[in-house]
């Protein structure tokens, strides 16, 4: 019996192809937008999770409190080497590293660009930074402890020719008007900030940019992951005492992996909710379009309704026919929207990888999202078809046959 209802609905829609397509436009645009946004949002969330897995759960990040902007650009109160020494004395810490950032003009032959410059520490501290950011050498060598005016280039600096063509190991560049020799090129990390940056020894950065003491970021590796929150609290306590600040008035942040991941998750959820809310407007417009089409269908098929009722069709049969028909309008529009949505999200992933050089923007596919979107679009169509269907079901056979 239910198969007959769906067969009749398909037959009716196929006889009104143009109207059906126009009615579905709002639905498939809305569903495409919602699916694409959810897919990209979930893909970004999974990429962030993978990055945190690479970083490990045994690391803490200490930053100066800042306003809006990159670390080191607008710190309320800077961290210093003295703060690093305080942290090193906390028990339960395996290794610590502090590094410094700067933005600078960089010259290569006749080319000029502006780059993020990162000052890397020496020895074990540099190894910790490399572990944190998954830094591996693609060409040449790494920085050595006795290097002064040597530089490493991020992969994007070379691959995207950000400062001219054919830049290679052993070439000379000028950073803030001081000459450096390129000793190595890094493999792609997937982090656009690091891939597009230039790394030099930390002490050299201090000299070139006249930054004698500040530190923009400190990373801490704890010996026992189980005690990471205890160690984080101890670092906060010791830094508060050293910097003479009260609890809840800290001018620094000690971030655990869970806090960092939670912060990213909160931001992603808020942005995704806003965008999905905007996309839902298209679904509302599509639903109104379905209601309008179904009201028109009731008027056009009044006599047909009368005939069905005169041969025994009940109100519930008429109601079900029109509800299924409007639901199918939504479902077919939803199917097109789902395909378009996933296609759009995968296109964004390809563009991000090829043009931006980042693996953080990716598409996510799941059967639950696929079928969930289809069911949702069917329900949208059916919901907006209820009122026209009730109007059709309420028609009296005699009155319908007269029209």
Residue 352 belongs to some domain of the structure:
yes
Quick one: tokens of 137? 């050498």
Looking at the fold, whether 325 and 382 belong to one and the same domain comes out as yes
Looking at the fold, whether 218 and 76 belong to one and the same domain comes out as yes
217-222 and 93-108 strand pairing: antiparallel
362 vs 227: which has the higher pLDDT: 227
Looking at the fold, whether 46 and 78 belong to one and the same domain comes out as no
Residues 28, 289: Cα–Cα separation, whole Å: 12
Looking at the fold, whether 266 and 204 belong to one and the same domain comes out as no
Report pLDDT digits (tens) over 301-346. 666 666 676 766 677 777 777 777 788 878 888 888 889 888 888 8
The segment with the largest mean pLDDT, out of 138-152, 219-233, 250-264, 297-311, is 138-152
Q: What is the mean pLDDT of the chain?
A: 81
Residue 69 confidence (pLDDT)? 46
Supply angle C-alpha 61, 268, 215, rounded to 5. Answer: 20
DSSP state letter for 220: E
Residues 79, 52: Cα–Cα separation, whole Å: 24
Residue 89 confidence (pLDDT)? 92
CA distances to 10, 125, 147, 181, 206 from 171, in Å: 69, 27, 16, 6, 23
Which of 215, 250, 285 is a domain's end point? 250
Supply angle C-alpha 396, 400, 401, rounded to 5. Answer: 120
Count how many domains the chain has.
Answer: 2
Looking at the fold, whether 245 and 134 belong to one and the same domain comes out as yes
Quick one: tokens of 241? 């005492």
Residue 59 belongs to some domain of the structure:
no
Residue 96 confidence (pLDDT)? 93
Q: What is the pTM of this model?
A: 0.61
Residue 61 belongs to some domain of the structure:
no
Looking at the fold, whether 193 and 337 belong to one and the same domain comes out as no
Residue 402 confidence (pLDDT)? 57
Contact yes or no for 330/379 (Cβ under 8 A): yes
At residue 358, the 3 state secondary structure works out as coil
Contact yes or no for 262/121 (Cβ under 8 A): no
Which of 228, 250, 272 is a domain's end point? 250
Looking at the fold, whether 271 and 397 belong to one and the same domain comes out as yes
Residue 351 confidence (pLDDT)? 82
Supply angle C-alpha 134, 222, 76, rounded to 5. Answer: 80
- Inform me whether the pLDDT recorded for 289 exceeds 80: no
What confidence category does residue 206 fall into, taking pLDDT thresholds of 50, 70 and 90? very high
Looking at the fold, whether 99 and 40 belong to one and the same domain comes out as no
Residue with the two structure tokens 């006889």: 15
Report pLDDT digits (tens) over 53-69. 666 678 888 998 865 44
Looking at the fold, whether 104 and 150 belong to one and the same domain comes out as yes
What confidence category does residue 104 fall into, taking pLDDT thresholds of 50, 70 and 90? very high
364 vs 355: which has the higher pLDDT: 364
- Scored b (16 or more CB within 10 A) or e, 231-256 reads bbebbbeebbeebeeeeeebbbebbb
197 closest CA partner among 126, 121, 133, 109: 133
Report pLDDT digits (tens) over 359-397. 667 788 888 888 888 888 888 877 777 777 676 666 666
Which of 200, 230, 250 is a domain's end point? 250
Residue with the two structure tokens 């890397």: 120
275 closest CA partner among 222, 344, 216: 344
Residue 41 belongs to some domain of the structure:
yes
Contact yes or no for 382/323 (Cβ under 8 A): yes
Residue 68 confidence (pLDDT)? 41
- Inform me whether the pLDDT recorded for 97 exceeds 90: yes
Looking at the fold, whether 380 and 329 belong to one and the same domain comes out as yes
Question: What average pLDDT does this structure show over 28-34?
Answer: 80
Residue 106's domain comprises 66-250
Residues 250, 70: Cα–Cα separation, whole Å: 19
Q: Is 252 left (phi over 0), alpha (psi -120 to 50) or beta?
A: beta
Residue 257 belongs to some domain of the structure:
no
- Inform me whether the pLDDT recorded for 182 exceeds 90: yes
Instruction: Enumerate the β-bridge partners of residue 118.
Output: 101, 199
Residue 57 belongs to some domain of the structure:
no
180 closest CA partner among 157, 210, 147: 147
Residue 42 confidence (pLDDT)? 79
| DSSP sequence for 186-214 | EPP-S-HHHHT-EEEEHHHHHHHHT-SSE
Looking at the fold, whether 190 and 88 belong to one and the same domain comes out as yes
Looking at the fold, whether 143 and 10 belong to one and the same domain comes out as no
Residue with the two structure tokens 């050089």: 357
Residue 60 belongs to some domain of the structure:
no
Where does residue 13 rank: exposed (0-12), middle (13-18), buried (19+ CB within 10 A)? buried
Residue 167 belongs to some domain of the structure:
yes
Contact yes or no for 310/361 (Cβ under 8 A): no
Where does residue 138 rank: exposed (0-12), middle (13-18), buried (19+ CB within 10 A)? middle
């Amino acid at each position: 019996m239910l198969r007959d209802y769906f067969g009749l609905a398909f037959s009716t829609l196929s006889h009104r192809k143009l109207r059906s397509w126009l009615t579905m436009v709002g639905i498939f645009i809305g569903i495409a937008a919602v699916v694409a946004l959810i897919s990209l949002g979930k893909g970004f969330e999974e990429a962030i999770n993978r990055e945190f897995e690479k970083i490990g759960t045994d690391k803490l990040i200490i930053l100066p409190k800042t306003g809006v902007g990159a670390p080191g650009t607008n710190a309320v109160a800077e961290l210093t080497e003295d703060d690093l020494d305080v942290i090193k004395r906390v028990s339960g810490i395996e290794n610590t590293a502090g590094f410094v950032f700067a933005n600078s003009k960089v010259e290569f032959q006749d080319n000029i660009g502006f780059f993020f410059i990162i000052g890397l520490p020496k020895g074990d501290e540099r190894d910790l930074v490399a572990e944190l950011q998954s830094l591996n050498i693609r060409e040449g060598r790494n920085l050595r402890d006795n290097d002064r005016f040597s530089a490493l280039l991020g992969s994007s600096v070379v691959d995207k020719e950000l400062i001219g063509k054919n830049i290679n190991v052993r070439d000379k560049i000028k950073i803030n008007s001081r000459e450096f020799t390129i000793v190595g090129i890094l493999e792609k990390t997937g982090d656009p900030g690091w891939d597009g940056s230039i790394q030099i020894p930390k002490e050299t950065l201090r000299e070139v940019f006249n930054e004698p003491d500040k530190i923009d970021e400190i990373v801490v590796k704890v010996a026992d992951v189980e005690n990471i929150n205890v160690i984080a609290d101890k670092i906060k306590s010791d830094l508060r005492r050293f910097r003479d600040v009260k609890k809840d008035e800290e001018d620094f942040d000690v971030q655990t992996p869970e806090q960092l991941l939670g912060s990213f998750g909160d931001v992603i959820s808020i942005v995704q909710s806003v965008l999905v809310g905007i996309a839902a407007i298209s679904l509302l417009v599509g639903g109104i379009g379905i209601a309008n089409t179904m009201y028109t269908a009731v008027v056009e098929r009044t006599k047909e309704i009368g005939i069905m009722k005169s041969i025994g069709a009940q109100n519930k049969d008429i109601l079900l026919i029109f509800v299924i028909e409007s639901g199918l309008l939504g479902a077919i529009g939803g199917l097109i929207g789902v395909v378009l949505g996933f296609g759009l999200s995968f296109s964004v992933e390809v563009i991000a990888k090829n043009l931006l050089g980042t693996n953080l923007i990716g598409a996510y596919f799941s059967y639950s999202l696929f079928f969930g979107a289809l069911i949702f679009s069917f329900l949208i169509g059916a919901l907006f078809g209820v009122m026209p269907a009730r109007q059709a079901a309420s028609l009296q056979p005699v009155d319908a046959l007269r029209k």
